[in-house]
Amino acid sequence: MHISSWKKPLRENKPLFNRGLSFWGGALSGREPMREKLEQFRSYLFLIPGLFFLMLFTYLPILWSSWLSFNRWNLLSPKPKFAGWENFVELWHHDVFWLVMKNKFFFVTISIFPTMFLALVFAILIDERLKGRVYYIYSLFYPTLIPMAAAAMLWVYIYSPNLGILNILLAELGITKLGWLGSSETSLWALIIMTFWKNLGFFMLIYLAGLQNVDRELYEAAYIDGAGWWRRHIKITFPLVGPTSLFVLVTAIILTFRVFDQIHLMTEGGPGNSSNVVVYYIFENGFKFFDWGRATSLTTILVCILLTLTLIIFGIFGKRITYTAD
């Protein structure tokens, strides 16, 4: 009798004092928490299919290859055998490993900031245009659309020492022809330029979307305040596309670290490893030298580097960025 006369007012009050009272009401009736748990359970249920595939094709392979990287596993010992740090120690003493690492970091640091900067500048220029926008967007985005294999072939022709348009142009200008892909001095540069061309449009498009969040009135206010074109964008656009830049930075680092196709198709890491980089080196170890243990330890190193970089970047910039929406 007491309980039923208690419950009633509580029930009636519920919509008004939703949180607190439903808790008590729940404790009394013993039904509400169950329901909430069921809700939570159901939302997890929806994640399961996605998580399953992520598990199967991402997390498990990462764990598996991390494990393998501590094993000796090559043509001479075709069964994985635990070997501790052996693979890593070997790599440490291997010159090519350091060359490949140096090449990769050079590749990333040289290409990322110009790519980001120019992508943003192009995005701004296109954003300010009223006419012919679509035309400009497509012409910049086109390289991203075509398959890497086709792009690589195209650039092989462009870089061709005697018939390539680049050398013909250089000759016209009276500058000595370059070896491009065939010379160990220029091969990495040639790949950097080609990758820059391939990715620019992609990042430009992301920036273009980011720019839509910047209020036009801000530019007008700055214009009246007396800020010229550069100042306007350095003081207003650059800080305000911060969230986009963060995304572009992380994506660009990962994309650039992963560069493989064009190297495989254009230089095969040569000449003399001058354009060899991590992912291609992994491929070489795994599928040319059949040293899978070493390939997996390289993979582990790469994953660690990318994870660390991403964490550092988010740690440094994640909280400092101004999000325009309030």
First vs last Cα of the chain: how many Å apart? 52
Q: Are 285 and 74 in contact (CB under 8 A)?
A: no
My answer on whether omega of the bond before 161 falls inside 30° of 0, hence cis, is no
**DSSP states along 136-151:** HHHHHHHHHHS-HHHH
- Tell me if 246 contacts another protein by CB under 8 A: no
In terms of Cα–Cα distance, which of 14, 43, 206, 245 is closest to 126?
206
Q: Closer to another protein at the Cβ: 45 or 224? A: 224
The interface with another protein within residues 36-95 (CB under 8 A) comprises none
Pick the binder of another protein from 47, 54, 169, 221 (CB under 8 A): 221
Q: Are 67 and 83 in contact (CB under 8 A)?
A: no
Q: List the alpha helices (DSSP H) in the chain.
A: 2-13, 18-29, 32-54, 60-68, 86-92, 95-128, 133-145, 148-159, 165-172, 187-211, 216-225, 229-232, 238-240, 242-257, 261-266, 278-283, 292-317
Q: How far is the CB of 121 from another protein (least distance, A)?
A: 19
Interface characters, 295-324, with another protein (x: CB under 8 A): ---------------------------x-x
Pick the binder of another protein from 10, 96, 121, 227 (CB under 8 A): 227
Binding segment toward another protein, per CB under 8 A, in 149-157, 202-210, 217-225, 260-268: 217-225
- Tell me if 239 contacts another protein by CB under 8 A: yes
Pick the binder of another protein from 76, 226, 230, 315 (CB under 8 A): 226
Q: Closer to another protein at the Cβ: 185 or 225? A: 225
Rounded-to-integer distance, Cα 267 and Cα 276, Å: 8
Pick the binder of another protein from 45, 130, 173, 224 (CB under 8 A): 224
Q: Closer to another protein at the Cβ: 129 or 231? A: 231
User: Number of residues in contact with another protein, rule: CB under 8 A?
Assistant: 20
Pick the binder of another protein from 68, 181, 200, 240 (CB under 8 A): 240
Tell me the one-letter amino acid at 20: G
In terms of Cα–Cα distance, which of 234, 199, 20 is closest to 119?
199
Binding segment toward another protein, per CB under 8 A, in 23-31, 155-163, 175-183, 232-240: 232-240
Q: Which residues bind another protein (CB under 8 A)?
A: 215, 217-218, 220-227, 231, 235-236, 239-240, 242, 322, 324, 326
